[in-house]
Amino acid sequence: MKKSLLVLSIMLALAVSVMGCATTGDLEKMQTQLNQLDAKIDQALQASQDAKTAANETRANLATQVEQANAAAMKADAAASRAENAAKKSMK
C-alpha cells in the first residue's frame, strides 16, 4: 500500500512538472508579445519627445511675445508721458 502510494505520488509529481514547462510555441508567443510591447513603448517615447519639443518651442515663442509686449508697453508709457508733458506745456 505504501509502495503504491509512493509510486503514484512520484508519477503525479512528474506529470505536474512536465505540464508546467512552456512549449516552444508558448515562448515564441511570449516573445511576439514582448516585441509588440517594446514597439508600443518606443512609439510612446517618440510621442513624448515630440510633445516636449513642441512645448519647448511654444515656451520660447511665448517668451518672445512677452518681451515684445513689455517693450510695446514701455513705448506706450513713454508716449503717454510725453503726451501728458506736452499737454501740460500747452496749457501754460
Distances in Å between the Cα of 79 and the Cα atoms of 17, 69, 73, 74, 76 are 90, 15, 10, 9, 5
Residue 59 is predicted with a pLDDT of 97
Residue 4 is predicted with a pLDDT of 78
* Domain segments of the chain as ranges: 37-92
Which helix (H) or strand (E) is 78 found in, with range?
Answer: helix 24-91
- Rounded distance, CA 67 to CA 57, Å? 15
- Rounded distance, CA 18 to CA 23, Å? 10
Give me the tens of pLDDT residue by residue for the chain, a chain 92 residues long: 778 777 778 887 777 676 667 788 888 999 999 999 999 999 999 999 999 999 999 999 999 999 999 999 999 999 999 989 888 888 86
Residue 26 is predicted with a pLDDT of 87
